[in-house]
Amino acid sequence: MLSGLINYPTVLTTLGGDKMNENADDDALILDVRNLSVDYIAHGRPPAHALEKVSFQLRKGEMLGIVGESGCGKTTLMLSLMRLLPAAGRIVNGEINFLGADLLNLNEKAMADVRWKNIAMIFQGAMNALNPVRTVGSQIAEPIARHTMNTLNDLHPIHNANRNGKATQSPNGNGHYAGKNLNPLRTVGSQIAETIKHHEAISDKGILDRRVAELLDLVGISPNRRDQYPHQYSGGMRQRAMIAMALACFPDVIIADEPTTALDVMVQAQILELLATLRQQLGLSVLFVTHDLGVVAEVCDSVMVMYGGVVAEYSDVDTIYNSPQHPYTQELLKAFPDVAHPHSKLTSIPGYPPRLDALPAGCRFAPRCPCAFARCHQAPPPLYHLGKFHEASCYLVEKTKVGIQE
Amino acid sequence: MSHYLFKKIGWALLTVGFVVVLNFFLFRILPGDPARAVKDPRLTRQSIEAVRVRFGLDKPLPVQFLLYVRNLAQGDLGTSFHQQRPVATILVENLWNTLLLIGAGTVLSILLGIVLGVAAAWKSGTIIDYGALIGSLAAWATPTFWFGMILLFWGSSQLGLPIGGKLTAGASYDSWWEQWLDVGKHMLLPTVTYTIIYAGQYTLFMRSAVLDIFAEDYILTAKAKGLHSFQILRDHALRNAMLPTVTVVALNLGFTVAGAIEVEKVFSWPGLGQTIIDSVERQDYPVLQGAFLLLAISVIFANLLADLLYSYLDPRVRVT
Ligand SMILES: Nc1ncnc2c1ncn2[C@@H]1O[C@H](COP(=O)(O)OP(=O)(O)OP(=O)(O)O)[C@@H](O)[C@H]1O
Ligand code: SF4
Ligand SMILES: [Mg+2]
């Protein structure tokens, strides 16, 4: 079980800590996304504004639900965070402050180090997200082997000495590391290597195997199935394996993009329960993308409702359910009145989301909004702050606002 | 695994049996009396009849068929009308030469095709990609005999390579490796012709297979894991992209024996293709019958090989 896992310090040494922001004193703040805008560029057509000025924060241990109709940009947002947008996607504006540094400023190599090590992702369709010709176990082991040695190198200056070539000197010739505890007859390097092997050498096959077994056990899969292939797993097991994989490197943030969509209802419930349990146990910070407001109510702390690439309303779960201010949120809840039957689809709002390459001049929701008035068709509403943690982008709340997002 | 194996081998054997039967009747319904193919104007009617008797052509069909099957089981494919030698001996001689040529050509073209195809896909949209694409389309579209003749002309005039055959006529060799050097010189041009023509096809195939794989979700997963692009290529794309390629290569393998005909003709390479052409001209039915059987069986076994390789590469096939 979990206590058996070798815990690695999840310090992000690849990132500079120089970039301070107003929330820097907030220790629990992990992710602070600001004014993120993404376009999809197509040849000979106007760019599609898939995200416009999206801002949100994620704190340690928080589970943030991101809801909205199909095509509102949820996956685009998640992929932007990992900087894995498809070729046509461009991040045109914004910041992704992660543990105090902007991910958008990292070079590709540093970003590759952040992926999975710091931000891991559970994909929607586990069948397709797993490679069919490799065993599940090897795919879980892969990110561990990829990232853990890096972390060791970065975290342990001693280990760096190994790379600098000094490690072949004997302790006496290397005053810095000399000490009673070192065997003077053997090189520093060999002794360090031994130590690492003893405690944390994840490249060591046996330890790697044990980690994989523990991870599988953690998500309720018998470890002796690790040498099986994805097609030998049921849909639910594949999704569990995805979760085990996401946990492999003790990420600071886990992104779950509709992790239960492709599953049947019973299995959905099991996977949700697993996620909720793991989150409690491990104190995970999760971005949880879903269509399903009922699920959000069950498992999330806060909710960001998106519409057509913008934030419609953003607050804690209670506020969103008990006093929604944005007409879109209200319509969603109406279309979905009973939290006890959380599996109906969000289809009953008449009309369709806007085309992203031909957006309405005003509020993106105006063509479908039951409360729309003249002004809504002229200019898009800004995001109004309604309280310490409640934001909505609708002219109707202008009178009750306490501030405006820049 | 073993169940799958047995099933595949069983089917292959069954197909061979079917081909054996078909091959017999195919050659009985073809026009032209084989006996007359033994061209000699001095032959009298009696001697023609004697030839028919000698080759067993006077007996009723069912008896001929039984004899054919019995002889086949003993490795006897009959006697060549023209050369008066056992067909099996002729075929084995020629098959060896053909295998030498297409063996070298196939291995080289597969290697070249995989390397170029993967490089093109990996650097897709760059000059490398366009170069590989245009080059392989050109190679694919080029008629084999035309390309062979250009190479033959250029190679013999500029590089002093032999213009055909397998060995220099009348040459004597001090050692076996001198002889092999001579064979190598003769083989060079036909092998290059063969390699380039087929590599084009394999390059295109490998390129599109890798590009397809790059669009798969599990490649996104691999990127999300922070793997480097070479790691992704090696650990997640290559094996998967080999799957469709293996099928094409193995299917080709059967047909390449026949496909070598053009190359052999241009370079006068004493192989199976050359023999088939000669036998058609001389209506040498026993040789043709034997050659057809050999080709059919090689196609069947290439298929079997593809299936087995596929099941090794793709675990989803292994279990079913
Ligand atoms: N590669 C792409 N090129 C162009 N447009 C794209 C691309 N990928 C997504 N889009 C567009 O961006 C918008 C947002 O898509 P996204 O996949 O982020 O939506 P989503 O909220 O995740 O939807 P779903 O709930 O169906 O998964 C959609 O309108 C989509 O058409
Ligand atoms: S701004 Fe106008 S159109 Fe937009 S949600 Fe508010 S009321 Fe509706
Ligand atoms: Mg999506």
pLDDT of B69-127, one tens digit each? Answer: 888 888 888 778 777 788 888 888 888 888 888 888 989 998 999 999 999 998 888 99
Least distant ligand from the CA of A80 = 1
Q: Residue B290: count other Cβ atoms within 10 Å of its Cβ.
A: 25
Within 8 A of A134 by CB-CB distance, chain B residues are 235-236
Token digits of residue A215: 């991870």
Partner-chain residue, chosen from B226, B228, B316, that has the shortest CB–CB distance to A132: B316
A133–B240 CB contact, under 8 Å: yes
- Which two three-digit tokens encode residue B43? 């032959």
Give, using CA atoms, the residue closest to atom 7 of ligand 2.
Answer: A372
Q: What is the mean pLDDT of residues A37-66?
A: 93
pLDDT band at A176 (very low <50, low <70, confident <90, very high): very low
Q: Is the pLDDT of residue A224 over 70?
A: yes
Q: Is position B141 within any domain?
A: yes
- For residue A168, is pLDDT > 80? no
- The reply to whether B71 falls in a domain is no
Which residues neighbour B34 within 8 Å (Cβ) at sequence distance 6 or greater?
B55, B57, B81, B283, B285, B286
Confidence band for B42, pLDDT divided at 50, 70 and 90: low
pLDDT band at A341 (very low <50, low <70, confident <90, very high): low
* B225 chain-A contacts, CB cut-off 8 A: 115-116, 142-143, 146
The mean pLDDT of B223-242, rounded to a whole number, is: 90
Mean pLDDT of A66-79: 93
Size of interface A-B (CB pairs under 8 A): 69
Is residue A133 within 8 Å of residue B239, measured between CB atoms?
Answer: yes
Mean local confidence (pLDDT), A272-276: 91
Percent of chain A with pLDDT over 70: 76
SS3 string of chain B? CHHHHHHHHHHHHHHHHHHHHHHHHHHHHCCCCHHHHCCCCCCCHHHHHHHHHHCCCCCCHHHHHHHHHHHHHCCCCCECCCCCCEHHHHHHHHHHHHHHHHHHHHHHHHHHHHHHHHHHHHCCCCHHHHHHHHHHHHHHHCCHHHHHHHHHHHHHHHCCCCCCCCCCCCCCCCCHHHHHHHHHHHHHHHHHHHHHHHHHHHHHHHHHHHHHHHCCHHHHHHHHCCCCHHHHHHHHHHHHHHHHHHHHHHHHHHHHHHHHHHHHHHCCCCCHHHHHHHHHHHCCHHHHHHHHHHHHHHHHHHHHHHHHHHHHHCHHHHHC
Of all protein residues, the one whose alpha carbon is nearest to atom 6 of ligand 2 is A394
| Spatial distance between the Cα atoms of A249 and A8, rounded to a whole number of angstroms | 8
* pTM for this entry: 0.78
Q: Which of B225, B315, B316 is the closest to A116 by Cβ?
A: B225
What's the confidence (pLDDT) of residue A131? 92
Residues of A in contact with B235 (CB under 8 A): 134, 142
For the record, the structure tokens of B142 come out as 């080029």
Render pLDDT for B237-290 as a digit per residue (tens, 0 to 9): 888 888 888 878 877 776 676 667 888 888 888 888 888 888 888 878 888 888
Lowest mean pLDDT among B35-39, B153-157, B264-268: B35-39
- Please state which of the ranges B37-51, B54-68, B196-210 shows the lowest mean pLDDT: B37-51
Q: What is the whole-number distance in angstroms between the Cα of residue A395 and the centre of ligand 2? A: 6
Show the domain range for B101. 93-271
Q: In chain A, what residues touch B313 (CB-CB under 8 Å)?
A: 133
CATH number at B173 reads: 1.10.3720.10
Best mutation site among A396, A398, A399, A401 for ligand 2, i.e. most ligand atoms within 8 A of its Cβ? Answer: A396
Distance CA A147, CA A150 (A): 5
A376 confidence band (pLDDT: 50, 70, 90)? very high
Q: Is some CB atom of chain B closer than 8 A to the CB atom of A110?
A: no
Residues forming a β-bridge with A256: A122, A288
Residue nearest atom 3 of ligand 2, based on CA coordinates: A366
Q: B256: distance to nearest CA of chain A, Å?
A: 30
Residues of B with CB under 8 A from a CB of A: 216-218, 220-228, 231, 235-236, 239-240, 243, 313-316, 319
Quote the pLDDT of residue A178.
36
C-alpha A328 – ligand 2 centre gap (Å): 8
Q: Which residues hold their Cβ within 5 A of ligand 3, which is an ion?
A: A 75
Say what the pLDDT of residue A344 is. Answer: 52
Q: Which of A176-190, A228-242, B204-218 has the lowest mean pLDDT?
A: A176-190
Q: How far is the CA of A369 from the centre of ligand 2 (A)?
A: 6
Interface check for A132 against chain B (CB to CB < 8 A): the answer is yes
pLDDT of A367 > 80? The answer is yes
CA–CA min distance A108, chain B (Å):
10
For residues A365 and A383, the answer to whether their CB atoms sit within 8 Å is: no
A64 contacts chain B (CB < 8 A): no
- In chain A, residues 203-262 whose CB comes closer than 8 Å to chain B: 229, 231-232
User: How remote is the CA of residue A364 from the centroid of ligand 2, in Å?
Assistant: 8
Confidence of residue B143 (pLDDT cuts 50, 70, 90): confident
In this model, does residue B33 exceed pLDDT 90?
Answer: no
Q: What's residue A127's pLDDT? A: 75
Number of structural domains found in chain B: 1
For A202-230, letters b (16+ CB in 10 Å) and e give beeeebbeebbbbbbebbebeeeebebbb
Average pLDDT over residues A68-87: 93
Closest partner residue to B221 among A129, A146, A231, by Cβ?
A129
Contact with chain B for residue A134, Cβ under 8 A: yes
First to last CA, chain A: 47
**Pocket (CB within 6 angstroms of ligand 2):** A 326-327, 363, 365-366, 369, 371-372, 376, 381, 394-396
Instruction: Please give the structure tokens belonging to residue A192.
Output: 């360090």
Chain B contact set for A123 (CB, 8 A) = 217, 220-221
A130 in contact with chain B, both atoms CB, cutoff 8 A: yes
Q: Does the residue B196 lie in any domain?
A: yes
Give the residue-averaged pLDDT of A204-209: 79
- Given a cut of 60, whether residue B302 has pLDDT beyond it is yes
Query: Which residue would you say has higher pLDDT here, A167 or B25?
Result: B25
Q: A115 and B222 in contact by Cβ < 8 A?
A: no
Residues of chain A with pLDDT > 90: what percent?
48
Residue of higher predicted confidence among A251 and B48: A251
Of B220, B227, B319, the CB nearest to A146: B227
Pocket perturbation via mutation, ligand 1, pick of A38, A41, A52, A72 by most ligand atoms within 8 A of CB: A72
- Segment A344-351 mean pLDDT: 63
Would you call B319 and A142 a contact, using CB atoms and an 8 Å cutoff?
A: no
Amino acid A355: pLDDT: 85
Q: Which ligand is nearest to the CA of A354?
A: 1
By CA distance, what is A231's nearest residue in B? B316
B interface test, pick of A117, A131, A138 with most B CB neighbours within 10 Å: A131
pLDDT top residue among A342 and B308: B308
List the domain boundaries for chain A: 132-250
